[in-house]
A and B are shown apart, each in its own frame.
Chain A
Amino acid sequence: MKSELKKHIVKGPDGFEFEVDPLRDYYCEAAPTVMPPAYLKIVENFLNWARAQSLWILGFGTGCGAIEMRPLMTPRFDAYRYGVQWRPTPRQANLFIISGYLSVKTLKRVIRSYEQMQNPKYVIGLGSCTLNGGMYWDSYNTIKCLDDYLPVDLYIAGCMPRPEALLAGFEDLKKLIRAGKAEGANQYAEHFDWYKANQKRVIHDWDMPDYNW
């Protein structure tokens, strides 16, 4: 664990000294809880309808597939007309695209970003690397099956899938959301221990709290 994450004494600007335990004081460690859908079915259907039309992608390119997302913002493919937008912060986004291979080092950041997103949230695995490792199947530092670490709603296979495939994938995700089948956030909360155990098995220098919102 890094030295700045251990308990240490901090001297404030007024000369007052106090002890700080970064992992406890700076983060909330409360585990995620299952958030039930709205009580009335009609309300939940209405919300799902709105959610399906408003996919906000977290602008975090994790692998080489990120290069397939740029053309979606430009005139040729223009995903904005389908209600797909890019948001710069995990707090405001509700769709996380794991774009291609995921190294163990990036997985750490991915987990933290995913946990900061608000329920309901969706994950798309882009490219064969997220399915079975793809061309990195025997690499020592990439993960092979994304499903073991995060609840994935949809895979778009290919190496790399073209932007058209991504657009088709968004349409499929919309159908899942409308049908109320995209409950990845609740699945993550329900099987939290299993996911954490899997994550800790590959991340050896685990220097963050178990859960940070």
Chain B
Amino acid sequence: MSFDWMKIPYALLTLFIIINFGYLQNALIQKIAARVGRRYGIPVWQNYFDVIKNYGQRSSITHGVMYYLGPVFRLTGGVGLLLFVPSIYGSEVFSNFSFAGDLILALYFIFFGTLGMALGAAESGHPYSAIGITRGLSQVTAAELPLALAVFSVALQYQTLSITEIVAAQQGSVLNWTLFTNPLAVAAAMLSFLGSMMRPPFDVVLAPQEIPIGPPTEYHSSYLALMQTNRAIFPVAKIVIYMALFFGGAASWPVFFLKVFLIYLWSAFVGVVFPRFRVEQSIRWFMIWAVPLGVLSVVVV
């Protein structure tokens, strides 16, 4: 099998676009949430300042090897997720390293960052990190179940594990989207989506007022900057999968930006309306509302 070396600069270009889009979008979403609270909100370029400042901190301390690797794993999860999924449908340049079984790999990468974070934060030895990790892992596992079921349902429906083929099957008309051909799976996945975006009502993992900030309590300087970089990439990468599986993918960058923003807005909308769940409440919520939908979607297909 020959490898097309041009894919590497193309993938880096995708990464560059996504990072910048991610920073601006995160700030915009924060601004929207602030406007709901009648505040003016942060400037849209605030995230750039924060990241540059954190990379530019002069001192940093370490707690061990895993402490180093935590943010690195997290960033790997985000970048890996992004690079193994085609960003723009039908584009040679922005199809990245997608291949026939990329759907399974994507499911794995969604979980990868959380696991890396668990190892890294555990080594920092801070009790709040441990509490945050316990909550994070239980909640992400509960939220991942309906998503996995929805993905199985979609894979069964289209008889393929390739994201490109799934997107191809949805082209033509809006009515061909999975949203209309398999609404149960989409409903289950969108409920699961809320659980992994770190926004209320499912932000008890970070809970800044309660367990200072959860897993990243001890992270600072460039460690934190790495995690902030991932914070820009990961949500977009995750939404790309949702967009490709359920909302017909995107054939150009403007459509891509619009769809990603609207899907993100769904979690922001729910976030400003509902208060925070405790972790056992959120797990129960996923088990009662999201998992049965997922099971049903698999059964119906």
Contacts and interface: CB of A to CB of B under 8 A. Distances in A.
A81 B34 CA distance: 10
Given A47-B53, A54-B53, A81 B219 contact: no
Interface string A61-105: 000000000000011001011010101110110100000000000
Contact of A119 (B46, B50, B58, B218): B58
B101 interface: no
Nearest 3 A/B pairs, CB to CB: A88-B212, A50-B52, A47-B56
Contacts of B59: 35, 118-119, 185
30 contacts: A28-B61, A37-B58, A47-B52, A47-B56, A51-B56, A53-B49, A54-B50, A56-B50, A75-B37, A78-B34, A80-B39, A80-B40, A80-B42, A81-B42, A81-B43, A83-B43, A83-B46, A88-B208, A88-B213, A89-B213, A91-B220, A92-B213, A94-B53, A94-B57, A118-B61, A118-B220, A118-B221, A119-B57, A185-B59, A213-B61
A75 B60 contact: no
B212 A50 contact: no
B289 to A, nearest CB: 31
Contact of A80 (B38, B41, B58, B213): B41
Contacts of B69: none
A44 B282 CA distance: 46
Contact of B217 (A50, A89, A213): A89
A120 interface: yes
Contacts of B208: 88
Nearest to B61: A213
Contacts of B53: 47, 50-51, 53-54, 94
A172 B53 CA distance: 19
Contacts of B272: none
Q: Interface residues of A toward B: which range?
A: 20 to 34
Nearest to A30: B61
B224 interface: yes
Contacts of B58: 35, 37, 118-120, 185
Nearest to B35: A75
Interface of B: 34, 37-43, 46, 48-50, 52-53, 56-61, 208-209, 212-213, 216-221, 224
Nearest to A80: B42
Which of A35, A56, A75, A185 is packed against the most chain B CB atoms within 10 Å? A75
Given A37-B58, A51-B56, 9 more contacts: A46-B52, A47-B52, A50-B56, A54-B49, A80-B41, A91-B217, A94-B57, A118-B59, A213-B61
Contacts of B61: 28, 118, 213
Contacts of B209: 88
Interface string A13-44: 00000000000000010000001011000000
Given A50-B49, A53-B49, A92 B220 contact: yes
Contacts of A92: 213, 216, 219-220, 224
B214 to A, nearest CB: 9
Contacts of B57: 94, 118-120
Interface in A142-170: none
Contacts of A119: 57-59
B207 to A, nearest CB: 9
A156 B48 CA distance: 29
Contacts of B213: 87-89, 92
Contact of A83 (B40, B49, B60): B49
Contacts of B41: 78, 80-81
Contact of A54 (B37, B39, B46, B219): B46
Contact of A75 (B39, B50, B216, B220): B39
Contacts of A185: 58-59
A87 B220 CA distance: 11
A153 to B, nearest CB: 16
A87 B53 CA distance: 14
Nearest to B218: A91
Nearest to B213: A88
Contacts of A91: 217-220
Contact of A81 (B37, B40, B217): B40
A53 B51 CA distance: 11
